[in-house]
Amino acid sequence: AQQKQRFLRPLLRADEFWCQGFSEPGAGSDLASLSTRAVRDGDIYRVNGQKVWTTMADQADWMFALTRTSASGRGSEGITYLLISMHSAGIKVRPLRDISGGTHFAEVFFDDVEVPVENRVGEEGKGWSIMRTSLGHERATAFLADEFKHRRTVEQVLDLLVDQNLDSDPLVRQDIARMESGVRAIAANSARALDAVLRGEDPGGVASVNRLVKSESEQHMHTLA
């Protein structure tokens, strides 16, 4: 209750900006192999390690992060979910410049960063299930915006095809049908995921399927363009 009182209103109002500290140099798709350590020292955790591909970390006030608090157990066991102030002593953020010249991602380094125990979400060592819930809800709600973004992009691709007099080509029309089917699949899966959230259920499965559908649809759409 205290965490909700402290964090939710400024988060919803965008008075405080957050980033996600999950991926690491050696733990991307295999997230459970993360190695950032959080060692309990009285009323604080001392955090050491690194996160990477952290979106807009250079602008964030806070990070919700996965840390390893126990060397025992296997895989996802011993992982703890912490809320870390990005203004803490010992945090260094290095933006990563992508091929377009943008710096949307960053590396984040933790050097003996002190995090109050009261900033732990859930029980120590039980952060993996919280992370799965976080990702499921993130994808379920983000896909609603993706649906409109994809619809707009599809219309731009169609305008491009018409301008170049390619819209009567039967093979191109087949690609157009596939592109339209992809957008409608994203919309349908987004509705299913949101429905699960509103029923208080875990949208993880539907959200993961939609992540795959969205990725394949984007690749086809850009190839066609």
| Catalytic entry in 77, 123, 138, 216 | 138
Q: What is the pLDDT of residue 192?
A: 85
Q: Is it the case that residue 202 has pLDDT exceeding 80?
A: no
CA pair distance 170, 158, nearest whole angstrom: 14
CB atoms under 10 Å from CB of 167, counted, come to 14
What confidence category does residue 140 fall into, taking pLDDT thresholds of 50, 70 and 90?
A: low
Residue-wise pLDDT for 44-74, tens only, equals 999 999 999 999 999 999 999 999 998 765 6
Separation of alpha carbons 117 and 44, rounded Å:
5
Is residue 138 part of the annotated active site? The answer reads: yes
pTM: 0.73
pLDDT on residue 30: 81
Q: Is residue 192 packed enough to be buried (19+ CB in 10 Å), middle (13-18) or exposed (0-12)?
A: middle
Does the structure show a pLDDT above 60 at 117?
Answer: yes
Q: For the segment 147-175, what is each residue's pLDDT rounded down to a tens digit?
A: 788 888 899 999 999 999 998 999 999 99
Question: Percent of the chain beyond pLDDT 70?
Answer: 94
**Is the separation of the CB atoms in 217 and 179 below 8 Å?**
yes
Residue 4 Rama label (left phi>0; alpha psi -120 to 50; beta) = alpha
User: Could you tell me which residue, 30 or 108, shows the higher pLDDT?
Assistant: 108
What rounded mean pLDDT belongs to the chain? 89
* pLDDT in the model for residue 39: 96
